């Protein structure tokens, strides 16, 4: 059953994580936690829209021009994880919809806990 949930006022999740569907892989690195996202630019609103393979699907209102979608992705992830924007970087995929996000100062377990809370 799909339901719109709101977290921190600006982050919405228009789906529920099924019992058989696992969380995305989140890895600990010396530089911080990393995970994959698939970005859908020019969406109606900023939201987590699902899980696609090993990536978290993000819908972002910003267009994919002049780095605006990348900045919106960083802002969205920072707000979702309640960290500063400077601690979130795109480690790979700046010119692709598939991106590797690195969050400095955060452990993989913390990211998984936030994802579990919003997706379940």
Q: Residue 82 is part of a domain; what is its CATH number?
A: 3.30.1200.10
Backbone angles phi, psi at 30, to 5 degrees: -60, -25
Residue 13 pLDDT more than 70?
no
What's the whole-number mean pLDDT along residues 60-88? 96
Residue 23 has what pLDDT?
84
| Residue 22 confidence class, pLDDT cut points 50, 70, 90 | low
Closest to 24 measured CA to CA, from 49, 55, 69: 55
Note the pTM of the prediction, 2 decimals: 0.82
> Does residue 42 contact residue 48 with C-beta atoms inside 8 Å?
no
Show the CA angle centred on residue 87, arms to residues 81 and 91, nearest 5°. Answer: 100
Query: Which of 118 and 93 is assigned the larger pLDDT?
Result: 93
Please say if the pLDDT value at position 54 is more than 90. yes
- Domain containing 94 equals 5-15+24-119
Domain count, the chain: 1
């Amino acid at each position: 059953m799909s339901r719109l949930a709101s977290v921190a006022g600006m982050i919405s999740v228009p789906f529920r994580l099924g019992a058989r569907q696992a969380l995305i892989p989140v890895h600990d690195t010396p530089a911080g936690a990393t995970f994959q996202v698939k970005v859908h630019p020019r969406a109606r609103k900023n939201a987590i829209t699902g899980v696609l393979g090993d990536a978290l699907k993000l819908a972002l209102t910003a267009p994919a021009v002049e780095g605006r979608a990348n900045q919106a992705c960083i802002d969205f992830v920072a707000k979702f994880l309640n960290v500063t924007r400077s601690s979130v970087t795109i480690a790979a995929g700046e010119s692709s919809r598939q991106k590797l996000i690195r969050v400095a100062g955060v452990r993989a377990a913390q990211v998984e806990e936030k994802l579990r809370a919003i997706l379940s």
